[in-house]
Structure 1
């Protein structure tokens, strides 16, 4: 049962291609387990960070005797601690995510992407949680770092039904209040929402020192508007229908879409938020490998 459920969201070939990849936080993180990522806290392990003056009660084993002979004062060596990180995966399951067929459906694509990332995070012994929302928070799986966590995530995704409108700003604000500080928040959505109302919520996440990653999942029709002839468009979140000659509206649509996308990118730049635009026509494996390559390159440069 679990195997057949996981096969809907995890592809063996994709997992094979990302098996040797790790996901590293770009800033310092706070966790409650020993792990492989830098913590802003200092202790007595791993990598030297700084000195501080000795105070009564400090362990004399950590005195820097070389510094004592130079300055005739006692100093304690401090080291950077290593910890695990927590990644919160937040998936938009509003009705607009239902657009597309098969694995090119936006919701199916985002669900597979989120589950694969969750698997990779758990495999490196870090924690992952999952939350879904439309006009309210529909469900959440608390953070965990066992492989059974991925089964719980897949089971929850399998129960999701994209039928309602979205209230993204309110839902993200509610979820943000549940998170600690210095964690990773990954949001999977088509972001067909009011950018002005969304920005303050994302700013609060950044204020709490979270690393925020937005996976902007779009169908190829939305990106290219490659329709021909007379087409009837039916609203997924609104009851309206429009019958139109696509050649007559293509230029205006693409101009409006590109303006929206540019405004969205600028909002992300202002708030130092990572923004990845994804076309569901491109296989999840290709998209994920490209993202992990770019992420590791930025880390190497820094």
Structure 2
């Protein structure tokens, strides 16, 4: 059920998100840390400074030693989803557009975050405009987020909005930012935005979406390639250009990854032909990191 071709048959985005997460997590749906909670995990020896409320007196009666009951308690954070809705996200590979994959991924991760008790927020970048849905933890808010995701209509170019700093620095709370983009930029607009967000102290994970036809460059003969954001077209002999294209592409992807990792930004390139499980695993790793 994680295959994007299968997910295209599910028209209801909330149902799609539930289906993906139920299948992936198989009943495991909360992030946990050690601490005083309700579900028993293990004992450990008492240390000076420990809260005496968590002493287990039955263990003391049996062993004449002091033990602290540790347990599993849920932690919650704020997860903000940033979605690139520029026109290049309409790139189609075998019936799957990048924006479709972004919808599937964002909806599934938001559903998972909500299950863990996290607050979720949504920002959509579209041709210089920035749609904002604030961070809240309740299920009704999740439904609003999924509604707006379902109705994203890519257009224009990716332009950094003038007021974005107020949005991401206003509440002073550290967040996990999940940025879903194809990283198509004319003048480092996306890179500059990420640099600024990293400087504000947020944890960031970037999911870089690419069509498998972009990665394989499997076009035949002479082809007309169009820039979806500018409308410009070029004629290409695909057989002659393939080797040079793939070399430059690998250099390009390596440079993006290196630049982001240098700023402690997690990076994952995803083919829109691939199931969602790699992205979900990456999210869970980043979800626990640093919080």
TM-score in terms of structure 1 length: 0.71
Pairwise CA distance, 1:261: 0.5
Q: What's the counterpart of residue 65 of structure 1?
A: none
Counterpart check, 1:204 vs 2:187: no
Contact 1:220 1:280 in 2 (8 A): yes
Contact 1:103 1:109 in 2 (8 A): no
Tell me the matched-pair count. Answer: 256
Aligned residue for 1:10, secondary structure, equals helix
Q: What's the counterpart of residue 124 of structure 1?
A: 116
Q: Report the Cα distance in structure 2 between the residues aligned to 1:23 and 1:234, rounded to whole angstroms.
A: 44
Contact 1:131 1:139 in 2 (8 A): yes
Larger deviation, residues 110-119 vs 248-257: 248-257
Gap regions ≥5 residues in structure 1: 25-35, 39-43, 53-59, 63-80
**Structure 1 residues 301 and 117: CA distance shift in structure 2, 3 A:** closer
Task: Note the 1:1-302 alignment, pairs <5 A.
Answer: 6-7=12-13, 10=16, 13-19=19-25, 20-22=27-29, 83-100=75-92, 104-168=96-160, 173=165, 175-178=167-170, 180-193=172-185, 196-282=188-274, 286-287=275-276, 289-293=277-281
**Structure 1 residues 172 and 9: CA distance shift in structure 2, 3 A:** farther
Contact 1:5 1:154 in 2 (8 A): no
Pairwise CA distance, 1:93: 0.6
RMSD: 3.8
Aligned residue for 2:12, secondary structure, equals helix
Q: Report the Cα distance in structure 1 between the residues aligned to 2:162 and 2:95, rounded to whole angstroms.
A: 29
Pairwise CA distance, 1:159: 3.0
Pairwise CA distance, 1:168: 4.4
Pairwise CA distance, 1:155: 1.8
Larger deviation, residues 118-127 vs 131-140: 131-140
Pairwise CA distance, 1:234: 1.8
Pairwise CA distance, 1:111: 0.9
Aligned residue for 1:251, secondary structure, equals helix
Pairwise CA distance, 1:203: 3.3
Larger deviation, residues 98-107 vs 208-217: 98-107
Can you list the C-alpha shifts for 1:230-289, whole angstroms capped at 9, x where unaligned? 21112211121112221121122212211110100101220111101100011xxx33x2
Q: Report the Cα distance in structure 2 between the residues aligned to 1:274 and 1:298, rounded to whole angstroms.
A: 8
Pairwise CA distance, 1:201: 3.4
Q: Report the Cα distance in structure 1 between the residues aligned to 2:96 and 2:254, rounded to whole angstroms.
A: 24
TM-score in terms of structure 2 length: 0.73
